[in-house]
């Protein structure tokens, strides 16, 4: 029976499977006569014995092994398909060049770039590869064993890679688990899906404007650090910044500290609320449930209580200006005994108007007690802190400000009954009322008499001021006073002038004396220097017997004998006259 001859695709598939299972240290040979056989005298490695020889008859197996399936998974390689890695811009990498590739042990004649035919791609299965023909031997050499890494070496490589790739990164997240150890700040930066440890070393912490706190949303600038010994990632923080709402909270916290330092939140400055106000001012939105709840609660507790509404925006960019205007108008009108500033709750951003400094200052400047009812529970605004009283809801504020009328009547009835039981009911009888009226009339009479006397005295003073004679006398006194002051000024001025004249005369005498002495001294110096200059003049030197010899032609002075030559015409200057001569001999 003619043996089965595999196709090229089948050969390529078998070769790929063979290369994938080849282990370091193994050696297989593919020959013309014996097919695929182990090259070890004591047998193939365990992996080869278990499955590597299961193949097709064309590779040296019997026909009985045809039914066995190859245990190696994977897709079939097509002729000409690359089996190595791909280099960027330079084509595929030869498998033998990669020490971790399963084809690293191929014989040199079958490696790409060795003795491959022209045009064959590196790392590709030959399209005309025939394992049984050609009489050639293809040896698969053992692959060099890959040295395993220790855990520390692996972690060190990871550390170096992260240190190179993540030298400076910016990460955003929420702070939790803040702890201080050895001057260093340790915390966790997290979001909804992940968390990572972070540290601020003490040298950096001293430079930062603030330190992280639990719950803050921060943006950190950091370097990724991988601890090689423990295999742990940490962010080494170099800079902190607030994120979004965090910046707003930081600004509010800064304003809060400033107001607290000024004493705006002090308990001593908070005023007591009136027991029974005659009028209540409401600063809130004119539409919505808040004003309805306030009206309903106040009038349920005390019917016909006077309410004055100062409409204002309580949300949005214009709310700050609107709230300040309403507060100032209410304080200017002075109609109410107490003010309720109300809003129906909201998020942190929606309540920002009540954290603005202008609104807080306006609440602080109110001359009327202020109750805030902003309908929130998680965050207290700065307006709450500076107000005289704080309520959680508008309804609660109305209950704080207005007592129930039924309760007041009930208490009054209780007091009346107690007085009656004590036998003191006569105190409120007609005689007592008459005595009270008499005392009141007497007090009113005294007050009226006092006011009339004050009025008469005031009118008398005005009359005297408007009397022409009194006006003339007043002006005369004013003129006399002015004349007296002018005389004093004139005398003082004359004295100053006389003193100045004496001082000027003395200064003039001193100046003349100093000037004369200075001139004499300078004249003497000038004469002395003139005499010295005269003694040094050339004419004086010539008078002492010296002479000056010059060249008759150029007129230049001859100072040394070497400057003269035999037969040269010279001119000798004397103190009186000159001599024309010629040089017979120059002697040095």
Q: What is the pLDDT of residues 212-225, one digit of tens each?
A: 888 888 889 999 98
Nearest to 558 by CA among 518, 10, 568: 568
471 pLDDT band (50/70/90 cuts)?
A: confident
CA 505 remoteness from chain centre:
73
3-state SS class at 275: coil
Euclidean distance between CA atoms 184 and 370, whole angstroms: 45
Angle in degrees, 0-180, between the axes of helices 394-401 and 289-301, rounded to the nearest 10: 30
Residue 39 has pLDDT above 70, yes or no: no
Q: Mean pLDDT, to the nearest integer, of 448-461?
A: 86
- pLDDT at position 240, please? 86
Unique residue bearing structure tokens 């004396």:
513
Residue-wise pLDDT for 295-306, tens only, equals 999 999 998 889
Asked which of 71-75, 365-369, 553-557, 563-567 is least confident by mean pLDDT, the reply is 71-75
Looking at residues 20-47, what average pLDDT do you find? 42
Q: What is the DSSP-derived secondary structure letter of residue 536?
A: T
Asked if residue 21 has pLDDT above 80, the reply is no
- Is pLDDT above 70 for 436? yes
DSSP state of 142: P
Beta bridge partners, 208, equal none
Q: How confident is the model at residue 560, as a pLDDT?
A: 86
9-13, 178-182, 234-238, 567-571: least confident range: 9-13
Question: Does the pLDDT value for residue 127 go beyond 70?
Answer: no
DSSP result, 237-264: EEEEEE-THHHHHHHHHHHHHHHHHHTT
Distance, in Å, from the CA atom of 573 to the CA atom of 579, rounded to the nearest integer, reads 7
% residues pLDDT > 90 (the chain): 23
Q: What is the mean pLDDT of residues 397-406?
A: 91
pLDDT of 395 over the 60 cut = yes
506 has pLDDT over 50? yes
Q: Which residues on neighbouring strands pair with residue 311, listed in sequence order? A: 284
Under DSSP, is residue 413 helix (H, G, I), strand (E, B) or coil?
helix
> Cα separation of 256 and 258, whole Å?
5
Q: Check: CB of residue 253 under 8 Å from CB of residue 237.
A: no
Most distant pair of Cα atoms in the chain: their distance: 166
What are the phi and psi torsion angles at 3 (to 5°)?
Answer: -65, 150
Residue that wins the pLDDT comparison between 524 and 101: 524
Question: Residue 350's Cα: distance from chain center in Å?
Answer: 25
Rounded Cα–Cα distance for residues 501 and 483 (Å): 27
Question: Has residue 180 got a pLDDT over 70?
Answer: yes
What is the distance, to the nearest Å, from the Cα of residue 315 to the centroid of all Cα atoms in its chain?
Answer: 28
**Element of type H or E holding 328:** helix 319-333
Interatomic CA distance for residues 571 and 580, integer angstroms = 5
**Across 192-208, average pLDDT:** 90
* Predicted confidence (pLDDT) at residue 550 exceeds the cutoff of 60: yes
Looking at 61-75, 136-150, 271-285, 324-338, which range is the least confident one? 61-75
pLDDT at 121 over 60: no
What single string gives the DSSP state of each residue in 429-490? SHHHHHHHHHHHHHHHHHHHHHHHHHHHHHHHHHHHHH-HHHHHHHHHHHHHHHHHHHHHHH
Q: Band of the pLDDT at 160, cuts 50, 70, 90?
A: confident
Looking at 82-96, 152-166, 336-350, which range is the least confident one? 82-96
Instruction: In whole angstroms, give the CA distance from residue 552 to residue 124.
Output: 111
**Domains of the chain: residue spans and CATH:** 8-140 (no CATH), 151-243 (2.40.50.140), 276-407 (3.40.50.261), 543-582 (no CATH)
Check if the beta carbon of residue 100 is closer than 8 Å to that of residue 146. yes
Average pLDDT over residues 117-134: 42
pLDDT at residue 588 tops 60: yes
Of 243 and 72, more confident: 243
Check residue 499 and give its pLDDT: 87
Q: What percent of the chain has pLDDT over 70?
A: 72
Average pLDDT, the chain: 76
Question: Residue 470: which pLDDT band, with cuts at 50, 70 and 90?
Answer: confident
What pLDDT, on the 0 to 100 scale, is given for residue 464?
Answer: 74
Question: If you average pLDDT over residues 320-346, what whole number do you get?
Answer: 92
Say whether pLDDT at 94 is over 50.
Answer: no
């Amino acid at each position: 029976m003619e043996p089965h001859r595999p196709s090229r695709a089948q050969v390529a598939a078998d070769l790929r499977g063979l290369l994938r299972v080849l282990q370091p240290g193994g050696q297989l040979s593919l020959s013309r006569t014996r097919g695929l056989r182990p090259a070890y005298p004591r047998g193939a490695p365990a992996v080869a014995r278990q499955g590597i020889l299961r193949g097709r008859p064309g590779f040296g197996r019997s026909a009985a092994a045809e039914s066995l399936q190859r245990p190696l998974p994977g897709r079939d390689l097509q002729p000409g398909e690359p089996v190595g890695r791909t280099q960027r811009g330079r084509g595929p990498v030869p498998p033998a060049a990669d020490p971790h590739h399963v084809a690293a042990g191929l014989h040199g004649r079958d490696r790409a770039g060795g003795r491959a035919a022209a045009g064959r791609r590196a790392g590709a299965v030959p399209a005309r590869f025939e394992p049984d023909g050609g009489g050639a031997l293809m040896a698969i050499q053992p692959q060099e064993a890959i040295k395993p890494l220790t855990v520390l070496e692996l972690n060190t490589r990871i550390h170096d890679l992260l240190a190179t790739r993540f030298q400076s990164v910016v990460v955003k997240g929420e702070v939790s688990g803040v702890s201080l150890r050895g001057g260093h700040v340790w915390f966790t930066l997290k979001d909804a899906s992940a968390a990572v440890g972070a540290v601020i070393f003490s040298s950096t912490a001293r430079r930062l404007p603030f330190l992280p706190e639990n719950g803050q949303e921060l943006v950190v600038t950091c370097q990724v650090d991988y601890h090689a010994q423990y295999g742990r990632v940490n962010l080494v923080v170099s800079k902190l910044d607030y994120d979004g709402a965090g910046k707003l909270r930081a600004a509010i916290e800064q304003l809060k500290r400033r107001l607290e330092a000024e004493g705006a939140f002090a308990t001593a400055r908070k005023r007591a609320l009136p027991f029974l106000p005659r009028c209540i001012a409401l600063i809130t939105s004119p539409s919505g449930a808040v004003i309805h709840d306030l009206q309903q609660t106040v009038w349920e507790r005390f019917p016909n209580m006077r309410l004055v509404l100062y409409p204002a925006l309580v949300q949005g960019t214009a709310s700050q200006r609107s709230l300040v205007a309403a507060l100032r108008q209410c304080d200017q009108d002075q109609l109410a005994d107490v003010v309720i500033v109300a809003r129906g709750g909201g998020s942190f951003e929606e309540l920002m108007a009540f954290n603005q400094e202008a609104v807080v200052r306006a609440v602080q400047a109110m001359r009327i007690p202020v109750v805030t009812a902003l309908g929130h529970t998680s965050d207290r605004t700065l307006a709450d802190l500076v107000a005289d009283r704080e309520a959680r809801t508008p309804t609660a504020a109305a209950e704080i400000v207005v007592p129930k009328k039924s309760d007041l009547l009930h208490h009054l009835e209780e007091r009346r009954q107690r007085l009656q039981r004590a036998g003191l009911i006569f105190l409120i009888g007609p005689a007592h009322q008459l005595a009270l009226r008499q005392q009141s009339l007497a007090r009113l009479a005294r007050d009226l008499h006092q006011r009339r006397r004050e009025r008469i005295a005031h009118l008398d003073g005005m009359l005297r001021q408007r009397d022409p004679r009194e006006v003339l006398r007043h002006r005369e006194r004013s003129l006399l006073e002015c004349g007296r002051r002018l005389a004093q000024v004139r005398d003082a001025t004359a004295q100053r002038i006389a003193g100045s004249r004496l001082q000027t005369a003395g200064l003039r005498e001193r100046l003349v004396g100093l000037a004369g002495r200075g001139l004499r001294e300078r004249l003497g110096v000038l004469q002395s220097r003139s005499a010295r200059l005269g003694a040094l003049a050339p004419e004086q030197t010539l008078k002492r017997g010296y002479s000056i010899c010059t060249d008759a032609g150029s007129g230049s002075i001859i100072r040394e004998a070497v400057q003269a030559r035999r037969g040269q015409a010279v001119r000798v200057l004397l103190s009186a006259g000159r001599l024309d001569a010629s040089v017979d001999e120059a002697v040095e």
